[in-house]
Chain A
Amino acid sequence: MKTRRIELPLTDGALDGLELGTAVYLDGVVYTGREGLYKRVLDEGLEPPVPFRSLGNANFHCSPAASVNDDGTYNLGAVTATASFRFSRWLSQWFGMSGCRVVIGKGGMTEEDYRAHFVPNGAIYLSTVGYGTGALLGRGIRRVIDVHWLKELGIAQAMWVLDVENFGPFLVESDSRGNSLFEREGRVINRRVDGLYEGLRQPALKRYGETTSRSDEVV
């Protein structure tokens, strides 16, 4: 396995020779943001609580297991990503507004999304591993720098700004040309799919909306 340590904010040089499936560890600042944040900023047009560019360029699709102590400090235990494909519809606006270049999440997005939105913005997608290396990632967080919109969005959807060190592992899911590791692996797996069903009779009743192609993805 190839391994790479990358400093945030991401710069062009970091993308050189970065191959799909490389294990990546991050140093610098990442901030969490998911549908709660996107809805407020992109759908409702609210002013971001802080200029995104001032936080660097790494957006983590994540909700931490965290609580707020009585003295206002934070108790942050584990962090794990949430499935990213649900946020696809905000991508076109998001990159322009945020200057984001690293999206960290679960499950990746489509090659179509990578080529339409990520590549033109010099952005890559890093996938968490497992899923659920929550404790390992929790260990990589040096401190909580700030939390925005905690009251408005709740702990799970708030924007957590995190100072991280040797934060990982992540896997390179999309490269600078918009290729997807998941889609590459899926294409190999799909070659066998028809054979798996061979000799098994179809059920009597089909379901509404059922796909007849066994290589279709949920994403």
Chain B
Amino acid sequence: MIRQDVIGEAALEIMRRAAIVIPEDYRSGIRKMVGEEENELSRFVLEAMCENWDVAEEDRRAMCADTGLPRYYVKAGNEARIEGGMVALEQTLRRATAQATRDIPLRPNRVHPLSRIDHDNNVGILAPEIEYSFEPDTDWIDITTVHKGGLFGTDYRMLFPGDGIDGIKRFFLDVMLEFGRRGLACQPAIVGIGLGGSKDTAMAIGKQAACLRVVGDRSPDPEIAALEKELIEIGNDIGMGPMGFVGKSMVVDCHIEVAYTHTGGMPMSVHSFCLSSRRAVARVGADGGIAYRTDPRWFTPYHRRSGVDWEAGAPALGAAVAL
């Protein structure tokens, strides 16, 4: 049985880690870009960001004051038993959000969309978002928090099958230019792309692709992996860098997630996870142990399964999936 007090401790600690410590994969990706960036202004921006991450850790303060819309992703093992059930889990996560907002502190960004009422704790109607996924044959739960800004860098479009890869590339360029100017997307970003599904699925998986996969991760589908690499090149060849200055540091990585979609359509979303790409993960075991990390490991073979039934270790149907 996984106890609520342990979940609460983990949920608060990952909020703190996410806000303060930049994940190593993202830091390494940007350091590499600093070495390759030739434009003085663009390089100055990247160097300032690297210094900012060091200061955040030294001072134990949030790296960016726009601590975004803090949210949780929960992946629960099929054998996991949670004290008080899922309602208790959600209560714990809401309490941890409110406590994190006061203690770290986070910026109380969440307001009612019309009245603009702010509870000053990042909790409200459907806030924080909690998304779920499940994993067979295990009894832990993974809790991931993501703090992502909410205003710029994301767009959605209904493309059609005939628009093809050209359509995907065009829309990718559109979004890079649209939000890259003046650096509204806070690039270089981990760009997540959602392809297919229903419109809402396209948005959700694109966001997950940006926020729940690490720099350096490639899709197990070779065709998708090749497109990911091509889009990184296209993005960095625009001639734009951080803050929309001349440069070539635009995309630190690109991740594409797909979902089966309407036969007549190809919905696409693009999301930019920014220069403060904040994510932290805790695995809470049935024995009360907590193990922290920064790779959410959200897109497991089970999560991406394609067939009717799931057989452990079997390749997904209809797609090339590396084992």
Contact = CB atoms under 8 A, between A and B. Distances in A.
A34 to B, nearest CB: 12
Contact of B276 (A21, A66, A132, A197): A132
Contacts, number: 202
Interface string B139-180: 000000000000110000111101110110111011001110
Interface stretch (B62-70, B86-94, B253-261, B310-318): B62-70
A63 B243 CA distance: 20
B59 A139 contact: yes
A79 interface: yes
A50 interface: no
Given A200-B169, A201-B167, A217-B181, A64 B107 contact: yes
Interface string B213-256: 00000000000000000000010011110111110000000000
B66 A129 contact: no
B166 to A, nearest CB: 4
B48 interface: yes
Nearest to B178: A218
B157 A207 contact: yes
Nearest to B108: A155
A126 to B, nearest CB: 13
Contact of B184 (A80, A132, A202, A218): A218
B51 interface: yes
A78 B181 contact: no
Contacts of A77: 61-62, 65, 104-105
A182 B65 contact: no
Interface stretch (B37-45, B199-207, B286-294): B37-45
Contact of A138 (B59, B118, B177, B184): B59
Interface of A: 1, 21, 23, 62-67, 75, 77-80, 82-83, 106-108, 127, 129-139, 154-156, 169, 171, 182, 185-186, 188-189, 192-193, 196-197, 200-205, 207, 214, 217-219
Given A65-B61, A132-B65, 19 more contacts: A65-B104, A65-B106, A65-B107, A82-B66, A83-B184, A129-B243, A130-B242, A131-B183, A133-B49, A133-B51, A133-B64, A138-B65, A154-B108, A154-B111, A156-B107, A185-B244, A189-B246, A201-B166, A201-B170
14 contacts: A1-B41, A75-B105, A80-B65, A127-B243, A129-B49, A130-B183, A130-B242, A134-B52, A134-B56, A135-B59, A138-B59, A186-B181, A189-B181, A218-B152
